[in-house]
Amino acid sequence: MASPDVLARAITLRQEIERHNYAYYVLDQPTIPDAEYDRLFRELQALEADHPELLTPDSPTQRVGGKPLDGFAPVRHAAPMLSIRTETDTEASGALAFDARVRRELGLDESDPPIEYAAELKFDGLAINLRYEHGVLVQAATRGDGETGEDVTRNIRTVHAIPLRLNSESPPAVLEVRGEVFMRRDDFERYNERQRAVGKPTLVNPRNGAAGSLRQLDPRLAAQRPLSFFAYGLGEVRGWAQPVSHSATLDALAALGAPVCAERIIGSGAAALIAFHDDIAARRDSLPFDIDGVVYKVNRYEQQRELGFLTREPRWAVAHKYPAQEQLTTLLGIDIQVGRTGALTPVARLAPVFVGGVTVTNATLHNQDEIDRKDVRVGDTVIVRRAGDVIPEVVAVVAEKRPNPAPPRFNLLETYPVCPECGSHVVRLEGESAARCTGGLYCPAQRKQALLHFAGRRAMDIEGLGDKLVDQLVERGLVHTPADVYGLTLETLSGLERMAGKSAANLLAAIETSKATTLARFIFALGIRNVGETTAKDLARHFGSLDRLVAATETDLLAVCDVGPIVAQSIMQFFGEPHNLEVVAKLRAAGVHWPESTGLQQSAGILAGKTLVLTGSLPTLTRDAAKEKIEAAGGKVAGSVSKKTDYVVAGEEAGSKLAKARELGVPILDETGLLALLVSNNDAEQHTLDF
């Protein structure tokens, strides 16, 4: 039986793969590189192979992936459009492994003749099923999830390369032609030039251009996109004497008028596959369209039938992918981008280079550690790769082409001691790879993130101040720091999109209500790095006032429960930044206030040193309210019961935590007992109950 950890990992992988399937197949917005998706898929396959009991009918390994869009009628495929296995080994061993596997499954030994294979290109477009009845195109559907696709017939009819009628005097009763819709590189460039000339949006790359064109609800818009098509297989066939091999079928389709790519061969054994793979790799950049690999298929259908299928893929075919495309260029400089969380990311400014289907002028260098590891210097000749055909990155330096004398090493903290966006200090904490701006409340790059965090439910709890409104406030220059929120007026808010008078009035009321808060909430709302909700409560309880926290030394901070050196550094750096103190002062001047106390430095609290666990629903107190009362009295609320637990507070529908408390002999309280305990801790046993 699989362990709980293995089961949890399998569930996580399924959810993540399905999420990426939806982004890639349905939205045409891939979220991760293909190589990372393949790695996740192989990991799930391996788990299910090692633990067959984990295999479920809804696992992504049992289907192709993706769902049809609501905007198009669903089409049930007469024959499933299955995907094929992928070989990621970029060397000859990929072809050798496939050939060895085929021979083994056919029961052949060294004395038997080599297998006859068909080898062709793996196009980077969108898979389509074209259904011809008596020679006339009647329907076109996308792959979808392999079983059900989307009806895109009207848009397919605008693709001139696809025949509306087959070239035959006696066409088959039914012939489903399967292939790839794609956009040629020259068509892609010409289309983007026209778009730029009239100030309209351009396409990101040919693949997204092809997929997006077929998903236009208006076929007139699809007709404006120059698309091409290559056939590579069949779906349902009725009333046609199908040839005996895959290559002969492609020849027959070409004779019927279906476009078939000329870049294909018939060859014997692994040697022919290796030669084809190497030949195409050498000519890949000069091809008129994008490909991401080659495909090997057992040519004769008789052997294909003998090999059969796995649930998701045929045993007689494999896709042999190429590595991400790489090119050489010159590193002209290193710029810095400040992210929403304050992280400073070094970006390589490059001499323009065409790689992965687009012209690249910038590429990520990730962080200082990566720059040091690769020894990247301005003026170097570097290898640029579009990782997963999405994110350009500098892979390595060509050391022998380095200028003489060698350029100096790049040091981010020396070059950018202060944030280029706001002038606040830049620091790099121990154990972190990223350098960060300390001007969290002031930095323009962090403005939206800081405002959303400040207004969050567990922070200042300003209901109605969400993403879209924050976007408008920041982009129109109405709010620069959280303090500016308290200066908003009804007139200003009413002038924003989707903000009628009532909505504006409700938001102003929420802003006014938020002025009365707690010290813990205010500390958390400031967004100090490494200071979460629990740590904010510990700081508020320990110091009792904001002024004492601001003036705290590292020694003072380390005396707080669960505060270590890194958290202490983060707090001191935040309050050591004049910009942040200025915003805090403006917030207090705007009327934001909270009750203060002497703190645990002077008053330990009635539950100091005690650990309580909450379980079930209490009659009048919410879980958060009970937690706040316990913490205000100096106690700590834990999530699980152990021998170190002092009390378990149990309400209705208490579960396993209550059973664990009984097992360990931990005192159990109801809500009345908790409230009594908060008044007097002289005799805790008198509040315990026998459940």
Tell me if the pTM is above 0.85. Answer: no
Q: 434-603, what's its fold?
A: DNA polymerase; domain 1 (1.10.150)
- Comparison of pLDDT for 134 and 282, the residue scoring more: 134
Position 65 pLDDT exceeds 50: no
Domain with CATH 2.40.50.140 in the chain: 326-415
State mean pLDDT over 578-590: 94
Q: Which CATH architecture has domain 93-321?
A: 2-Layer Sandwich (3.30)
User: Distance between CA atoms of 322 and 40, rounded to whole angstroms?
Assistant: 19
pLDDT number for residue 336? 93
Q: Which residues are catalytic?
A: 122
Of 16-30, 284-298, 398-412, minimum mean pLDDT range: 16-30
Residue 315's CB is within 10 A of a number of other CB atoms, namely 18
Please give the CATH superfamily to which domain 4-62 belongs: Helix hairpin bin (1.10.287.610)
Average pLDDT, the chain: 86
State mean pLDDT over 534-548: 91
Position 4 pLDDT exceeds 70: yes
| Nearest-5° Cα angle at 174, 160 to 129 | 50
Of 82-86, 377-381, 674-678, 679-683, minimum mean pLDDT range: 679-683
Position 63 pLDDT exceeds 50: no
pLDDT number for residue 684? 47
Q: CB within 8 A of 50, min separation 6: which ones?
A: none
Domain with CATH 3.40.50.10190 in the chain: 611-687
Residue 630's CB is within 10 A of a number of other CB atoms, namely 23
- Comparison of pLDDT for 200 and 163, the residue scoring more: 163
Domain with CATH 1.10.287.610 in the chain: 4-62
pLDDT number for residue 35? 72
State mean pLDDT over 335-345: 88
pLDDT number for residue 64? 45
pLDDT number for residue 251? 96
Domain with CATH 3.30.470.30 in the chain: 93-321
Position 113 pLDDT exceeds 90: yes
Please give the CATH superfamily to which domain 611-687 belongs: BRCT domain (3.40.50.10190)
- Comparison of pLDDT for 176 and 659, the residue scoring more: 176
Helix locations, 430-489, DSSP H:
447-454, 467-475, 482-485
How far, in whole angstroms, is CA 411 from its chain's centroid? 30
Position 293 pLDDT exceeds 60: yes
Q: CB within 8 A of 54, min separation 6: which ones?
A: 2, 6, 7, 10, 47, 48
- Of 391, 390, 365, 389, nearest to 378 by C-alpha is 365
Q: Which of 45-59, 112-126, 355-369 has the highest mean pLDDT?
A: 112-126
With contact defined as beta carbons under 8 Å apart, do 472 and 452 qualify?
Answer: no
State mean pLDDT over 380-407: 82
With contact defined as beta carbons under 8 Å apart, do 148 and 74 qualify?
Answer: yes
With contact defined as beta carbons under 8 Å apart, do 574 and 558 qualify?
Answer: no
pLDDT number for residue 71? 67
With contact defined as beta carbons under 8 Å apart, do 327 and 355 qualify?
Answer: yes
User: Is domain 326-415 classified as CATH 3.90.79.10?
Assistant: no
Position 294 pLDDT exceeds 50: yes
As to burial, measured by CB atoms within 10 angstroms (0-12 exposed, 13-18 middle, 19+ buried), residue 207 is buried
With contact defined as beta carbons under 8 Å apart, do 558 and 548 qualify?
Answer: no
User: Distance between CA atoms of 421 and 440, rounded to whole angstroms?
Assistant: 11
pLDDT number for residue 274? 94
- Comparison of pLDDT for 566 and 130, the residue scoring more: 130
pLDDT grade, residue 512 (50/70/90)? very high
Peptide bond connecting 619 to the previous residue in cis, omega within 30 degrees of 0:
no
pLDDT number for residue 204? 60
What token pair was written down for 414?
Answer: 């020396």
Position 22 pLDDT exceeds 60: no
Position 613 pLDDT exceeds 50: yes
pLDDT number for residue 682? 52
Domain with CATH 1.10.150.20 in the chain: 434-603
The structure tokens 């002077």 sit at: 602
User: Distance between CA atoms of 348 and 335, rounded to whole angstroms?
Assistant: 6
User: Distance between CA atoms of 472 and 470, rounded to whole angstroms?
Assistant: 5
What token pair was written down for 585?
Answer: 């002062």
